[in-house]
Homo-oligomer: A and B are copies of this chain.
Amino acid sequence: MMPASSPFLLGILGGMGPLATADLLQKIIAATPAERDQQHVPLVVWNVPQIPDRQRALAGTGPSPLPALRDGVSRLNRLGASHIAIACNTAHHWFDDLQASSEAPLLHIADAALSQLTTAAPPSERRIGLIATHGTLAAGWYQQRLAERGMTPVLPDADELETLFVPGCYAVKRGEVAAGGRLFEQLAERLAERGAERLILACTEVAPGLDAIRSRWLQRSIDTTQALALACVALWRPSSP
């Protein structure tokens, strides 16, 4: 932990993908009650996307991103980051390793999302759809947090992941954001047909995709990037009002 005298500086570990990082930055700015530049959150963004693919690493078909992730966390610490946010759900697979190598505390995106879900969803909604990578689903951190609240996750099946989620995700990464959004929307419809009353967009590529097609599903979703932005802004108190 940083000594109490250290100034507040939010570090963002980004690049996974770059568009999701820019999305987090915009959502932090929009969520900050600032009257002028100087009241906005001081932050530094390490947006170096030359990190081995997280989905492939977890599928056993590519190298581990952990050294590159550790390097980013180390640089943010050396810059004086007092807190670090990771603009990628799947990268949270390495959260404990990264926290162990960081003086600055890391925010966990699933904690931010569940806090937001508790605020946004009426208590009657118990079945929550998850749109996420295979790696995030296999890690189970959303399912565990939902179960602790008595909620039931509704998950994509293997075919839906392969034909809708994964192509949607890589479409956003190559700039075909609306095409990705249309695939994510099909997946949202499938989860709703199986009873999901609300969705958690537990991959940071999903909200930009749905936003590009102005999908009605955004209104019934917890956007984990937005939730992380709110958690970051809640930490920041400008010294001069």
Contacts of A43 in B (CB 8 A): 47-48
Q: How far is the CA of A75 from the CA of B45 in the complex (A)?
A: 13
Q: Return A18 CB to nearest CB of chain B, in Å.
A: 4
Cβ of A104 under 8 Å from chain B: no
B15–A40 CB distance below 8 A: yes
The segment out of A49-57, A107-115, A140-148 that lies at the interface is A49-57
Within 8 A of B (CB), among A127-175: 170, 173-175
CB within 8 Å of B: which A51-89 residues:
51, 53, 75, 79
Is B29 a contact partner of A40 (Cβ separation < 8 A)?
no
CA distance A115 to B168 in the complex (A): 36
- Cβ–Cβ < 8 Å partners of A179 in chain B: none
Known: A30-B175, A174-B35. Is A45-B48 also a contact (CB below 8 A)? no
Asked whether A101 is an interface residue with its Cβ less than 8 Å from the other chain, the reply is no
What string of 1s and 0s marks CB contacts (under 8 Å) between A14-44 and chain B?
0111110110011001101011111111111
User: A36–B174 contact, CB under 8 A?
Assistant: yes
A contacts, CB < 8 Å to B: 9, 15-19, 21-22, 25-26, 29-30, 32, 34-51, 53, 75, 79, 170, 173-175
Task: List the 9 shortest-distance A-B pairs measured between CB atoms, nearest first.
Answer: A45-B45, A42-B48, A37-B49, A17-B37, A18-B40, A40-B49, A22-B25, A22-B26, A35-B174
Can you name 19 extra interface pairs (CB under 8 A) apart from A21-B25, A22-B25, A35-B174? A15-B42, A16-B37, A18-B25, A22-B26, A22-B29, A25-B45, A34-B173, A34-B175, A36-B170, A37-B49, A38-B51, A40-B49, A42-B49, A43-B47, A43-B48, A44-B44, A45-B45, A45-B47, A79-B79
